[in-house]
Each structure stands twice: as structure tokens, then as C-alpha cells.
A and B are shown apart, each in its own frame.
Chain A
Amino acid sequence: MGAIGAGLGALGAGLGVGIIGSKAMEAIARQPEAVGDIRNNMILMAALVEGAALFAIVVGLLAG
């Protein structure tokens, strides 16, 4: 059960990180001069989304 839960969590976070990545790429294409700011914010947002998946992993580990 824990593994299924962690997998579902990873699914959601994967979607989230994918969307962040695609939007960041679009933003860089539109405004190449802002690449530094966009990259930093992208990493920050990805880490926040990833946090949700990691919560799922921790809960998965607890559930065994």
C-alpha cells in the first residue's frame, strides 16, 4: 500500500514539475534576458512541488 501511495504522489509531482519546466522554457524563449531569474524561480517552485511527493514518500515509508 505504501508503495502505491508513494507512486501516486510521484505521479502528481511529476506532472507538476513537468508543467513548471515547460512554462519556464516558454518564458525563457519569450524573454531570454530573464533566464537567470526564471531558472531560480523554476528550481524553487520545483522544490516546493517535489515537497508534496516527498510527503507521500514519507507517509509511504510509514505505512510500510
Chain B
Amino acid sequence: MSKSFISIPRLFLLAVLAASVLLSHNAFAQDGHNHDGHDHSQHQHDGHDHSQHNHDGHDHAKHEGHSHGNHGCGGDGDGPYDPVATAMHHISDANEFHVLGDFHIPLPVILYAPDQGLTTGLSSMFHHGHTAVDGYVLDHGRVKRVKPGQGFPTQAVDHDCITHEERMVMVLGKEKKQEVGFVEYKGKKYELESSSTLDGGLFGGGFTSYYDFSITRNVFAMLLCAIILVFLFLRVAKGYKDRKGMAPKGLQSFMEPFFTFIRDEVSIPMIGEKHYERFQPFVMSLFFFVLILNLTGLVPFFPGGSNVTGNLAVTMALALLTFIITTVNGNKHYWEHILWMPGIPGWVKIVLTPVEVLGMFIKPFSLMIRLFANITAGHIIILSLIGLIFIFGDNGNNVGGATAGGVVGVAFTAFMNLIELIVAFIQAFIFATLSASYIGAAVEEAHEHH
């Protein structure tokens, strides 16, 4: 193999890819300002102590008022087992790395609120949800801010339980059930801000009054994977340089089938012989980045176990890169076919142009949803199967049931993990292939037809 597949520009591209994903992840995850976008028509200050000062227009009149479990008081084990909440908690991002039992690996926390400035430190400063720092608390591994203006102390103080209540809020003129967190401090309850739209559960939450630039679990996993890939590719690139024109050796011969596979099965058929070299680095970076994140996401313990490619912000950044590259590289032929398709009657063009323009955005959108939903669905299924142990075990009251659930759950989980292993490869392949085909459509030369 005389041609070196790896070169410094390609590594640089990988680094840019990783960096843009990292940045976008947090930028999309936490944005917005003090006043969230809920229905402002109902300013009801109905005497609940926590609603005296906030002006967010939540409808406080309908308090369902049932607190489910004392989350944060005695760890995760309290209260009846809720399979949905457990699964959602495990697939969402966190500010600390839970390893085993009460052992957590702290991660750096970098928070910025326009009204009070920067807060930095390790997530261990929250003592797993027992200490508030600068008005921030750690709720279920996730940093949340006490809504400003409630008189909560801004220095480091030990607080009591963090509880959650469901209440009805008005969202876009419709009543919706939303979970709201409260922190108890000296007998008084202070409302927490809902986590942001993209990270608090699936689409729950609202906008926050602070920006979270923390190295969260997902960011940590992405950094780690990017470092592994850079190290791996540097080694292989050195191999190609040292043994130019000779047979590959060691790690190089392990990686070469992947390179030739992406080149011969993805890039050349989709983009074409003439243009594929320009986009090969991007397609390969996408493939390996998605693949390694998918695979480490399947490892259930420490460096793995982060649901990175099952995070909408991450897949959105990746799809956005494809969209930008496609749009920037679109040639005359491509734009002509979108804006004014040649060779068809005029009235069809009027119908077709909006459809084609929409298609420009739907393509990357479907890329985003496909990867996110595939990985998230796989994780939820595995977590649900593990949850069978607790459901059959009746929260630890029924040892026989738990044993049966364990046997069934473990067997099915092992099976699901094997399927997920295939899905990890297929989704990385699909993401790369579809990106390549979109790019290929953008750089395709005009044919002699029509």
C-alpha cells in the first residue's frame, strides 16, 4: 500500500471534529437566559413560598404536590423503583462519574451565571448532593441552580433533601406535567431551575439562567475517545511512513481493512473516483469517532458507559458538520437541481423547489435523529431488562422474584448487547455512508442525460 491514508491534515480534521462536537455539546445543552419561554400570560403569585419572587409565569395553582421519594437524601436507593426514571437518569449526562456504590469520580465543573460570575471546582465540592456552592446543587449527578431571587445563600452551605414534585405547567398554551426539583434548607424549600431542554431527560426542562461549560461525563468520554483515536492513528501513520511500499505490520495491519473498507465501500461509490480524496478524511473521522463512542458506550463501567452518541446535542453537531460541508461544496449542478430542476415542466418546478429545499435540511436532521434514536433505544432496552430484576424482585421484598428477574434479565441483556455491538458498527457505517452520499450529491458532475 503505497498511499498513506493518515496524514497530519487528517489528524487535524479529526481534532477539529472532536473540538466542534465538544463545544457544541455544551453550548446546545445549556443556553438561554433568566426568563424561560413558558406562557407568560398567567402571573399567579398564589402564596406558595417558593413562588414569591420568580417571574417565570409558571402556573402554580395546580400543584399535584406528591413528592416521589427523597432523591438526594440517602442516595439512589430510596423510594419505590421507577424503571422509567432510572433509565432516563442513566442515559442522561452527569457532572460526576459514578463507578460503584457511593464511589464517584469527580469531574471539573465550570459554571457561569451572568448575574454572579464564574464558579469552578470539582464536582466533589457538592458532596453528592449535600452541599450547595454559590447557589448550585448537585441533583442526581447533575448540577442545577437554585432559582435566583429566593434568598438562598450563595456561599457553600450544607443543605437537606432534594425533592422532586410533579406539577402542571403551561407550555405553549397546553397543560403539561413537569417535574420540578426543590432543595430544602433550614426548613424552607427553594425551587431549582429545570435542567436544560436537551439534557434534562429527553426534551424536558427549560432554559437556565447559567451556562454550563463543565467537563461532564459525555465530554470526558469524547475527549478520551479523541485522544485514543489520535494516538492510534499517529501510530498507524508512522507505520505507513516507515514501511513505505511494504506490507503493513502489527496495529497497521489491524487498521488497514477499516481504511480500505471506508475508501472502497463508502467514499468511492458514494462520492466518486474524482472527488473522494478531498472528503475521505471527514468520512473516516466521522466513522471512527461515531464507532468508538458507540463501542465505549456499551461498556458498562468506568471509562465507558457514557451515552454520548445517544445525546441529541452530539449527533446534532455531527449532522451539522455534514450539512455545512455539503452546502459549502455544492456545485452549480447541485444547486440547479435543488432550486430549478432542469428538464421538467414549469408547474412541477414550483412544487418541487420547496420540497428540495426542505430536503436539504431534512437529510442532516434524519442523520441526527437516526443515530440518537438507535443508540438511545438500545440503551433504554438494556436498562429496562436490567430493571426486570427490581420489578420482579418487588423492590427487594421478593428474593425469588429478583433471582428469576436476574436470570431472565441477564440472558436478555447479553443478547441485546450482542445486537448493540452490530448496531454500533452499522450506525457508524450508516452515518459515514449517508454523509458521503449527501456530499457525493453535492459534488456530482453533470451527466449527459436530459
Show the binding face of A for B, using Cβ within 8 Å: 36, 40, 43-44, 47, 50-51, 54-55, 57-58, 61-62
Contacts and interface: CB of A to CB of B under 8 A. Distances in A.
Given A40-B265, A51-B366, A58 B373 contact: yes
B98 interface: no
A22 to B, nearest CB: 19
Given A44-B430, A47-B430, A54 B265 contact: no
A54 B430 contact: no
A54 B377 contact: yes
B370 A61 contact: no
A55 B426 contact: no
Nearest to B373: A54
A54 B434 CA distance: 17
B374 to A, nearest CB: 6
7 contacts: A54-B369, A54-B370, A54-B373, A57-B373, A61-B202, A62-B202, A62-B203
Contacts of A50: 370, 374
Contact of A44 (B203, B369, B377, B433): B433
A42 to B, nearest CB: 11
B429 interface: yes
A51 B377 contact: no
Interface of B: 202-203, 265, 366, 369-370, 372-374, 377, 426-427, 429-430, 433-434
B426 A43 contact: yes
A58 B365 CA distance: 13
Q: Is the interface of B mostly helix, strand, loop or mixed?
A: helix
A17 B202 CA distance: 27
Nearest to B374: A54
Nearest to B437: A44
Nearest to A61: B202
A50 B369 CA distance: 11
A33 B426 CA distance: 23
| Closest 10 A/B residue pairs (Cβ) | A54-B373, A47-B430, A51-B370, A58-B373, A61-B202, A51-B366, A57-B377, A57-B373, A62-B203, A40-B265
A55 B430 CA distance: 16
Contacts of A51: 366, 369-370, 373
Contacts of B366: 51
Contacts of A40: 265, 433
A47 B434 CA distance: 10
For A43, A51, A62, which residue has the most chain B Cβ atoms within 10 angstroms?
A51
Contact of B426 (A47, A57, A58, A61): A47
A52 B353 CA distance: 24
Contacts of A43: 426, 429-430
A54 to B, nearest CB: 3
B419 to A, nearest CB: 13
A24 B429 CA distance: 19
A55 B367 CA distance: 11
Nearest to A62: B203
A58 B366 CA distance: 12
A58 B201 CA distance: 12
Nearest to B204: A62
Nearest to A43: B426
Contacts of A54: 369-370, 373-374, 377
Contacts of A61: 202
A57 B369 CA distance: 10
Contacts of B370: 47, 50-51, 54
A47 B265 CA distance: 16
Nearest to A6: B377
A16 B374 CA distance: 17
A64 B169 CA distance: 16
Nearest to A54: B373
Nearest to B84: A64
Nearest to A55: B369
Given A47-B370, A50-B374, A55-B369, 14 more contacts: A40-B265, A43-B426, A43-B429, A43-B430, A44-B430, A44-B433, A47-B427, A51-B369, A51-B373, A54-B370, A54-B374, A58-B369, A58-B372, A58-B373
Nearest to B88: A61
A43 B425 CA distance: 11
B351 to A, nearest CB: 23
Contacts of A55: 369, 373
Contacts of B427: 47
A36 B369 CA distance: 27
A36 B266 CA distance: 12
A44 B437 CA distance: 11
Contacts of B373: 51, 54-55, 57-58
Contacts of B265: 36, 40
